[in-house]
Structure 1
Amino acid sequence: MADKPDQGRTGELADGELASSESTSDAVASRSSSTDDLTISVPENLSIVVDLPPAPAPEAPEDEVAVAIDEVPVNPGFVASPTEPTTTSVAIVASRLATGPTPTAAHDDDQRDIPPLPGTDAFSQSRRDRLRGEHSQQPEPAAMLTADRLLEVNRKTRPGPEGGWHRFLYAITFHTVNLGDSAKVRARKELDHRIQKQFEGGTRFVPVLTRKGGVGKTTVTTLLGMALADAREDRIVAIDANPDRGTLSERVTKQTRATVRDVVQKAASIGGFTDFSALVSRDETRLDILASDTDPLLSEAFDENDYNVVADLTARFYSIVLTDCGTGIVHSVMRATLQRADSVVIVSGGSVDEARLASETLTWLEANGYGDLVRNAIVALNMATQGTNLVKLDEIESHFRSRVREVVRIPYDPQLAAGSVVSYKDLKPLTKQSARTLAALVVEGLPTNRG
């Protein structure tokens, strides 16, 4: 029995693609003589279309769903009302798979305060203008614990006025009326405060020099040292480094015959201040003076190495070291002195040649790399020299003010002119005031901290 065409197959081809006439004619059904199986030949380019249901949407992992934020348009000019919020806070969950920066919440409350960078303490060196209870961000030295800071100012703790009518009124009213110090006393205490500036980090060296002899270097060194020692609580020493037989030790009452030569020879055996104090002379202001060599045959032996030995020893025991230099500005001692100098005092006389040589000293210092010392220098204008009454001191002072930091006039005083022992308490008030002004200016030019 002959096979009929497959009705179902014809229907599928009708919905899709129609078979070509050439492919249909080639399809032949044959019956095998030895079996009942039916064999059908299929064309090679037959196309079949199958309709599949839509694929399900992929599900995101839990860690990605936690950080997903709905795309909501935001108006940057709109400010939400606190009672009618228009935004929703979204919980942020950090994933261990995240490699980028962690997203932050949009709410202002979630912002973290950034601590300010540490700054310098404006009150690390002074308690002036500090509010009560405010503390320093840096450790304070013991010198900050002053009486005016710790004591409450009242009737019992306020000191009584000094001198004159203010003191008399304070006494007759049984300490109930305290007008305070007079203007003169306040000026003196203010100058004391300037001279008493505290230092940290080692000894300060101040040489007193000029290129001309006989202008009063030793006198100025003596006055400066006495003014410093009288006002300050620490130790002050003046070294006579003049290789040509200096006379600094003759300005105070001698208490020893020792000189800088003895200090050099006994340096290894000096273990403390008691040993060193036996080699110096001390006056009524507590100024220590170390004399120079008195033997003319040995004076030239004091060189740069010897000065360094003396300077190293004095640096162990003193806060300020003054050096009375000689006239040999190119001497090796002068080189060692300037290498340690924190400030310099240039002494000038009142005559034309003395002022010119003092100015040339400044020029020499600038030419040899000591320009900073020149700009910070103080010029002491000694008015006791000859010719002072014949020149215009204002013009000399004006010249030096254009080159150095300050100029101080040292007036004539009979006690200084005698060239002998100087009694600080017996100096004329104007001379003592000039010495104290010089001391205050020198101290103000010294570095407070030594790095």
Structure 2
Amino acid sequence: MANADNWQGEVLRTLRDDGSTPGQEPPVDSPVGSPVGSPVGTPTDTPVAVPPPHPDQQHAPRPGVRPHPVTPPPPHTPDSRPVLDPSLAAAAHRPRHGEHLASRAVRILRRTVSSSAAREVAETTAIAETLQRPVTTGRQIAVTSIRGGAGKSTVTALLGMAYAHYRQDPVLLVEADPALGSLPSRLGAESVRWTTGDLAGIVEPQMSLLDVTGYLVQLPGNAWLLPGSQGQIGTMLDTKAYERVMVSLRRYFGVTVVDCETLPAEVARVALAAAQARVLTAPATLEGITSTHAVLQWMRGLPRHMITGTVVALTELVPHSGIDLDKAAQRLTETGASVRALPYDRHLAAGGPIRTERLAHATREAAAALAADAFRLSQQRR
């Protein structure tokens, strides 16, 4: 990608707090000719003669007033569309807990009578300290897979939720997979409007954070979403549009998580090369592990930071996968990548919006550890 090295060299702009509400649309200018500030008692039926300005002063700014850059309006304003059809959303059942009631009761009992509670608290504290480390440049973490159905969007949503929970700076989730991606649904977005392709023709370097967030979907906490499509088949995203969006938005957000296309799509390869860390999701099956191992072997032929800055997320899609995860992880780590297992979770398996309070305890721990690994890798020098 052009200017990829500059992505890590620019200091994150200090966000200016002007008292505005994030996500608020910019104010609309008054109509031309409207009587703004006209004196009280001026007869409305008596025209007021206004002398025309001197030709030399028509375009001259007033003394002491800095001209405000005007962003050209977008060529087309899309309509807002619901993420889920109401008639289809009604078919969903009530969200399930990630683990059975009996399992939750046993875990709580063990924490009460076991000494492992102190160790668990220590591990959680260490993960929180890692996720809260300050950054001087925006970190970009790309999530991809070798095939569909590997939990790529789910892992992206879990990472974004973890960063938004622990960090104070803005967090952005970008959907660079416009082919009917499920990231907005997993994040609980009700509607989408502007997409990654739309923003490529709108965003300008002089825009403020308030201007930018006006085109994004606000999520709980300090997080925003940029969808890849409005759920329409045939939406495309080229590498130039992706690069323009990412270069322009990098200064506003401390961490950006990108839900990429599956490999070997061109945008996915560009996103992997430009990101400071990569997460490669793989189903915990024999076929998933085999294909992921082949991708890691290919990455070993690239610059070394590509493989050392990659963590594999082994996702268990069924309760009993029949795979020895320890042996699989050992085989994959031999390539130089890190490996984390994401256990089966009934709440995640059901699809729909992710509710962190309904995730299994083991899932929350694994997701936080995966987020910490990816963030730690993103801070390593290339």
State whether TM-score is above 0.5: yes
Partner of 1:312: 247
Partner of 2:208: 272
One-letter code of the match for 1:422?
A: I
Partner of 2:284: 350
Superposed, 1:191-230 pairs within 5 Å as 191-200=127-136, 202-230=137-165
Partner of 2:327: 395
Partner of 2:313: 380
One-letter code of the match for 1:303?
A: D
Among residues 211, 224, 231, which one is paired with 2:166 in the alignment?
A: 231
Q: Partners of 1:326 and 1:400 in 2: how far apart?
A: 22
Q: Give the conservation status (yes or no) of the 8 Å contact 1:365–1:374.
A: yes
Partner of 1:371: 304
One-letter code of the match for 1:424?
A: T
Superposed, 1:96-115 pairs within 5 Å as none
Q: Partners of 1:405 and 1:277 in 2: how far apart?
A: 35
Q: Partners of 2:353 and 2:315 in 1: how far apart?
A: 18
3-state secondary structure, aligned to 2:300: helix
Superposed, 1:178-197 pairs within 5 Å as 184-197=120-133
Superposed, 1:123-142 pairs within 5 Å as none
Superposed, 1:244-323 pairs within 5 Å as 244-254=179-189, 256-268=192-204, 271-294=207-230, 296=232, 298-300=234-236, 302-323=237-258
Partner of 1:439: 371
Q: Residue 292 of structure 1: CA displacement? A: 0.7
Among residues 321, 326, 338, which one is paired with 2:272 in the alignment?
A: 338
Per-residue deviation, residues 87-110 of structure 1 (Å, max 9, x unmatched): xxxxxxxxxxxxxxxxxxxxxxxx
One-letter code of the match for 2:327?
A: E
Q: Residue 210 of structure 1: CA displacement? A: 1.7
3-state secondary structure, aligned to 2:257: strand
- In structure 1, the gaps of 5 or more residues are 1-163, 165-180
3-state secondary structure, aligned to 1:344: strand
One-letter code of the match for 2:230?
A: T
- More displaced stretch, 278-287 vs 258-267: 278-287
Q: Residue 270 of structure 1: CA displacement? A: 7.2
One-letter code of the match for 2:134?
A: Q
Q: Give the conservation status (yes or no) of the 8 Å contact 2:313–2:340.
A: yes
The two structures, once aligned, show a CA RMSD in angstroms of 2.6
Q: Partners of 2:304 and 2:147 in 1: how far apart?
A: 20
C-alpha spacing 1:395/1:187, structure 2 compared with 1 (3 Å): closer
C-alpha spacing 1:183/1:392, structure 2 compared with 1 (3 Å): closer
C-alpha spacing 1:363/1:189, structure 2 compared with 1 (3 Å): same
3-state secondary structure, aligned to 1:289: strand
Per-residue deviation, residues 353-410 of structure 1 (Å, max 9, x unmatched): 111111122123233x243211231111101258x52222222111112123421111
Q: Give the conservation status (yes or no) of the 8 Å contact 2:181–2:231.
A: no
Per-residue deviation, residues 260-283 of structure 1 (Å, max 9, x unmatched): 122123224971111221222233
| TM-score (norm. length: structure 2) | 0.64
**Structure number with larger C-alpha Rg:** 1
Q: Give the conservation status (yes or no) of the 8 Å contact 1:381–1:410.
A: yes
Q: Give the conservation status (yes or no) of the 8 Å contact 1:210–1:357.
A: no
Q: Partners of 1:316 and 1:298 in 2: how far apart?
A: 31
Query: Between Structure 1 and Structure 2, how many residues are aligned?
Result: 267
Q: Give the conservation status (yes or no) of the 8 Å contact 2:277–2:309.
A: yes
Q: Give the conservation status (yes or no) of the 8 Å contact 1:199–1:448.
A: no
One-letter code of the match for 1:340?
A: A
Q: Give the conservation status (yes or no) of the 8 Å contact 1:256–1:279.
A: no
Q: Give the conservation status (yes or no) of the 8 Å contact 1:314–1:321.
A: no
Instruction: State percent identity of aligned pairs.
Output: 24
Per-residue deviation, residues 193-235 of structure 1 (Å, max 9, x unmatched): 11112222x2221111121110111111111111111111112
Q: Partners of 1:183 and 1:437 in 2: how far apart?
A: 15
One-letter code of the match for 2:165?
A: D
| TM-score (norm. length: structure 1) | 0.55
Greater relative contact order (Cα 8 A, min sep 6): structure 1 or 2?
A: 2
Q: Give the conservation status (yes or no) of the 8 Å contact 1:351–1:391.
A: yes
Q: Partners of 1:355 and 1:370 in 2: how far apart?
A: 23
